[in-house]
Amino acid sequence: MADHISVTQISNYIGQDIVLKGWLYNRTDKGKLAFLLVRDGTGFVQCVAFKGDLTPELFDTITHLPQESSIIITGSVREDKRAPGIPGGFEVGIKDLQVVQSADLDYPMALKDHGVDFALDHRHLWIRMQSQWAILRVRATVMAATREWLDNNGFIAMDTPIITPAAAEGTTTLFETEYFDEGKAYLAQTGQLYNEANIFAFGKVYCFGPTFRAEKSKTRRHLTEFWMLEPEIAFCDLDGLMEVEEQLISHIAARVLRDRSAELKFLGRDLSKLENIKAPFPRMSYDDAAKYLIELYEKETDPEKKDLLKFEWGMDFGAPHETELTKLYDKPVFVYGYPSAVKAFYMEPWPGRPEVCKSVDLLAPEGYGEICGGSERMSSHENLLARIHKEGLPEEAFQWYLDLRKYGSVPHSGFGMGTERVTTWMCGTEHVREAIAFPRTIKRVYP
Ligand code: 4AD
Ligand code: MG
């Protein structure tokens, strides 16, 4: 038997003595009573020290214990609906407390509001705070649910390289490095092209790893290092792809609701919004979306708003456009059939409309916007080669990729899902930087 229990197990120990190992998150002293909010990594629980139950020395130690001290508590569990904590509703009556380390008194992340730059400079400590802890727990569940659904639905996990010889999503956002005598190499922006090779060996695959974008975007949706899931499927067209996406996203939402409702409640998330996330999701063509946005633009009378909403067919959506489209539904919405000019080189042209491609973005509701981007891939060798030439891409670097269209080419499709964007949306928080433990943005590589 373990020598201690975790906060998540506490409901099984009502009326029993237990040992908890953790850290002092907060303390309120009320005369003969001290209320300790203790965290152990799995949750937060209220522990109560009553002077009459303890030696005077121990009660004195407890009432002088600095925030973040590491401690081992022995006590008895009782149910108390009012007791704070995550999940809350339980209280531990302290019988003994051992101090493992009494924390220095100058803890920088005292429990008050800190400016975001200060908090980010102290990210190594900030992640201990309830809100950040809750978001990162949701992230872990998003990732676990993602793998679970794919593994249970016939997908093979493949790891694609991080160090790559050429751009795959446009050349402007590459991190470059010298690679011995081979010249320049780049950090992967996507594993997609390698997964396109993988499907011809394994049928349905996914990679799930860090990707890198040297984008100068300073928005609340952009990181320079983020974790992308990328499924890729042989014998799959655009409709088949949308079905995979909506099944996966619905599964993630259901798992997060099942396993992380305490964290979401702490974050103030309206759970009914997540309960709506059930397949099928609405589908809208780019043409219809463009028509709607142009009407909105024309109707808008506020000059400032009008400027942001400016739209004409052929443009990519900006954040304000995505926000308007997501307002139409209480579920994520697929927008498909974008102009080829605003999308990557590898997308299959729309039959009979070469200016449009078989691409699809999934936009999350409540203004969260793009969470997945994908397409059917160009399957003809001739068309792909022509496109590579047209884009001025180095043909030699894509020789292996072109080979895939020579030896058993099939219609195939795939998409990428941004872990941090999905997590931010699930949590109802503002900025993707809080959805990863140590965010990398254009202004930040520390800590
Ligand atoms: O739309 P993107 O750029 O698509 C690709 O990279 C494709 N190769 C994926 C594929 O088809 N296999 O990126 C996919 C998703 C976006 O929808 C977004 O959720 C996320 O990755 N993403 C970012 N997340 C955080 N910070 C950034 N800078 C991101 N760029 C993309
Ligand atoms: Mg995209």
Same structural domain, 409 and 370:
yes
The mean predicted confidence, pLDDT, of the chain is 96
Two tokens at 161? 């390289």
Same structural domain, 56 and 153:
no
Residue 116: inside a domain: no
Distance in angstroms (rounded) separating the CA atoms of residues 243 and 420 = 22
Distance from Cα 400 to the centre of ligand 1, integer Å: 23
Overall average pLDDT of the 105-114 stretch = 93
Helix, strand and coil percent figures for the chain, each rounded to 5:
35, 30, 35
Distance from Cα 181 to the centre of ligand 1, integer Å: 31
Regarding the beta carbon of 374 and ligand 1, being less than 6 Å apart is answered yes
Helix (H) or strand (E) holding 402: helix 399-403
> How confident is the model over 360-417, as pLDDT tens digits?
999 999 999 999 999 999 999 999 999 999 999 999 999 999 999 999 999 999 999 9
Residue 238: inside a domain: yes
Of all protein residues, the one whose alpha carbon is nearest to atom 7 of ligand 1 is: 416
Q: β-strand 283-285 against 333-336: which pairing, if any?
A: parallel
Same structural domain, 152 and 96:
no
For residue 167, pLDDT over 90 is answered with no
Confidence at residue 434, expressed as pLDDT on a 0 to 100 scale? 98
Regarding the beta carbon of 208 and ligand 1, being less than 6 Å apart is answered no
Q: DSSP for 113-162?
A: ---HHHHHHTHHHHTTSHHHHHHHHHHHHHHHHHHHHHHHTTPEE-PPPS
* Strand residue runs (E) in 330-439: 333-336, 349-350, 353-357, 359-364, 369-376, 412-418
Query: Which residues does 116 contact at the CB level (< 8 Å), separation at least 6?
Result: none
Q: Which atom of ligand 1 is nearest to the CA of 215?
A: 28
Regarding the beta carbon of 421 and ligand 1, being less than 6 Å apart is answered yes
Overall average pLDDT of the 101-115 stretch = 94
Residue 267: inside a domain: yes
Residue 315: inside a domain: no
Same structural domain, 95 and 152:
no
Distance from Cα 372 to the centre of ligand 2, integer Å: 7
For residue 295, pLDDT over 70 is answered with yes
Looking up residue 404, the CATH number of its domain turns out to be 3.30.930.10
Same structural domain, 352 and 221:
yes
Binning pLDDT at 50, 70 and 90, where does residue 438 land? very high
Overall average pLDDT of the 88-94 stretch = 98
Of all protein residues, the one whose alpha carbon is nearest to atom 11 of ligand 1 is: 415
For residue 447, pLDDT over 80 is answered with yes
Q: Which atom of ligand 1 is nearest to the CA of 370?
A: 17
Q: Which atom of ligand 1 is nearest to the CA of 228?
A: 21
Q: Pick the ligand that lies closest to the CA of residue 372.
A: 1
Task: For the chain, give the percent of residues with pLDDT over 90.
Answer: 95
Residue 287: inside a domain: no
What is the DSSP-derived secondary structure letter of residue 346?
Answer: T
160, 342, 362, 421: residue to mutate for ligand 1 pocket, most atoms within 8 A of CB: 421
Same structural domain, 97 and 132:
no
Distance from Cα 325 to the centre of ligand 1, integer Å: 19
Regarding the beta carbon of 222 and ligand 1, being less than 6 Å apart is answered yes
Q: Pick the ligand that lies closest to the CA of residue 332.
A: 1
Same structural domain, 207 and 82:
no
Same structural domain, 46 and 134:
no
Last residue of a domain, one of 101, 134, 163: 101
| Structural domain containing residue 168 | 124-282+329-435
Overall average pLDDT of the 124-139 stretch = 98
Looking up residue 56, the CATH number of its domain turns out to be 2.40.50.140
Q: Which atom of ligand 1 is nearest to the CA of 222?
A: 26
Regarding the beta carbon of 245 and ligand 1, being less than 6 Å apart is answered no
Distance in angstroms (rounded) separating the CA atoms of residues 27 and 185 = 52
**Total domains, the chain:** 2
Residue 324: inside a domain: no
Same structural domain, 144 and 25:
no
Binning pLDDT at 50, 70 and 90, where does residue 170 land? confident
169, 219, 228: residue to mutate for ligand 1 pocket, most atoms within 8 A of CB: 228
Binning pLDDT at 50, 70 and 90, where does residue 168 land? confident
Distance from Cα 422 to the centre of ligand 1, integer Å: 11
Distance from Cα 167 to the centre of ligand 1, integer Å: 14
Same structural domain, 221 and 72:
no
Confidence at residue 344, expressed as pLDDT on a 0 to 100 scale? 94
Binning pLDDT at 50, 70 and 90, where does residue 421 land? very high
Confidence at residue 1, expressed as pLDDT on a 0 to 100 scale? 54
97 DSSP β-pair partners: 73
Last residue of a domain, one of 41, 67, 101: 101
Q: Across the chain, which distance is largest between two alpha carbons, in Å?
A: 85
What is the DSSP-derived secondary structure letter of residue 367?
Answer: T
Regarding the beta carbon of 418 and ligand 1, being less than 6 Å apart is answered yes
For residue 178, pLDDT over 70 is answered with yes
b vs e for 247-262, b when ≥16 Cβ sit within 10 Å of the residue's Cβ? ebbbbbbbbbbeebeb
> How confident is the model over 235-264, as pLDDT tens digits?
999 999 999 999 999 999 999 999 999 999
How would you class 307 by CB atoms within 10 Å of its CB: exposed for 0-12, middle for 13-18, buried for 19 or more?
exposed
Same structural domain, 194 and 61:
no
Confidence at residue 169, expressed as pLDDT on a 0 to 100 scale? 79
pTM of the model: 0.97
Binning pLDDT at 50, 70 and 90, where does residue 215 land? confident
> How confident is the model over 42-79, as pLDDT tens digits?
999 999 999 999 999 999 999 999 999 999 999 999 99
17 DSSP β-pair partners: 76
Same structural domain, 132 and 207:
yes
> How confident is the model over 306-322, as pLDDT tens digits?
999 999 999 999 999 99
Last residue of a domain, one of 101, 133, 152: 101
Confidence at residue 235, expressed as pLDDT on a 0 to 100 scale? 98
Q: Is 331 helix (H, G, I), strand (E, B) or coil?
A: coil
Q: Pick the ligand that lies closest to the CA of residue 222.
A: 1
Binning pLDDT at 50, 70 and 90, where does residue 174 land? very high
> How confident is the model over 256-289, as pLDDT tens digits?
999 999 999 999 999 999 999 999 999 999 999 9
Residue 96: inside a domain: yes
Residue 272: inside a domain: yes
